[in-house]
Amino acid sequence: MISVKEKQIEVQDWGCLDYATAYARQKCFIEERRIGDSHDRLILVEHPSVVTIGSSGDLSDLCISKTLLRNQGISLFETDRGGKATFHGPGQMIAYPIIKLYNMDLHWYVQTFLKAVADLLTEYGLNPIFKKGQPGIWVAGKKIASIGIAVKKMITSHGVGLNVNTDLNSFQWIVPCGHPGEIMTSMEKELGVSVDLTVVKKRFVQSFRNHFGYSLQHPSKNNI
């Protein structure tokens, strides 16, 4: 297995933070990583309700006007990640790795990232599957996790959104990832009970470290 050159990763949990602020922080972290002032980082965060549109999407991915979207209490942000439209909101685990790829193949990175999420779902007794040519993870034919990344000068940003206890009704206002008729689900819906997001985060961090070969967790005041 290809592994990252450095074996330490700093894990930060930002709690619930608005998308614009989180995006700005990611950009700062990318620059720090580029000039060598930081270790690789794994950011965990929840966002207040927001629809983000990636670099291959546009406003046609909305099923309602921007005004009506705001009336639903959902903000809108056009961003530089790959992909089209998705929804982020409370009860969703967002994972943003800021890591230097070195000699890692980008396809390998995406697949390994998704496998780390899939293994987490398996721990909960779910049966995650992948679909060829459609990045993400599905359970029982419904999409439970979406991925959209950016890579600049071999440093990654953006990442995965896993629906844990997410309000799935908000997905009706968009064409999820550009696929009309896509049905979304969550861990809560599939398991029939609310899921402890804190425990999900801890299990995901361990799965991520295992898949990417991080044997050490660099100290951080935000460690989980």
Q: Is residue 205 part of a domain?
A: yes
- pTM summary value: 0.92
Q: Which amino acid is at 36?
A: G
To the query of whether residue 177 is one of the catalytic residues in this protein, the response is yes
Transcribe 48-68 into DSSP letters: SSEEEE-TT--GGGBSS-HHH
pLDDT band, very low/low/confident/very high, at 129 (cuts 50, 70, 90): very high
Number of domains in the chain: 1
**Residue 57 belongs to what domain range?**
8-211
Q: CATH number for the domain including 43?
A: 3.30.930.10
Q: What is the pLDDT of residues 175-216, one digit of tens each?
A: 988 888 889 999 999 999 999 999 999 999 999 999 999 976
Q: Is residue 155 part of a domain?
A: yes
* Cβ–Cβ < 8 Å for 162, 139: no
The total number of residues shown for the chain amounts to 224
The CA distance from 73 to 223, in Å, is: 31
Catalytic residue among 16, 28, 63, 177: 177
Q: Is residue 218 part of a domain?
A: no
- pLDDT of 216 reads 66
Residue 24, pLDDT > 60, answer yes
| C-alpha 62, offset from chain centre | 20
- pLDDT of 3 reads 45
Q: Is residue 220 part of a domain?
A: no
Mean per-residue pLDDT over the chain, rounded: 92
The CA distance from 170 to 80, in Å, is: 22
Better-predicted residue by pLDDT, 223 or 151:
151
- pLDDT of 181 reads 84
* Cβ–Cβ < 8 Å for 78, 50: no
- Region 42-56: what's the mean pLDDT? 96
- pLDDT of 218 reads 62
Residue 98, pLDDT > 60, answer yes
The CA distance from 174 to 218, in Å, is: 38
Q: Is residue 3 part of a domain?
A: no
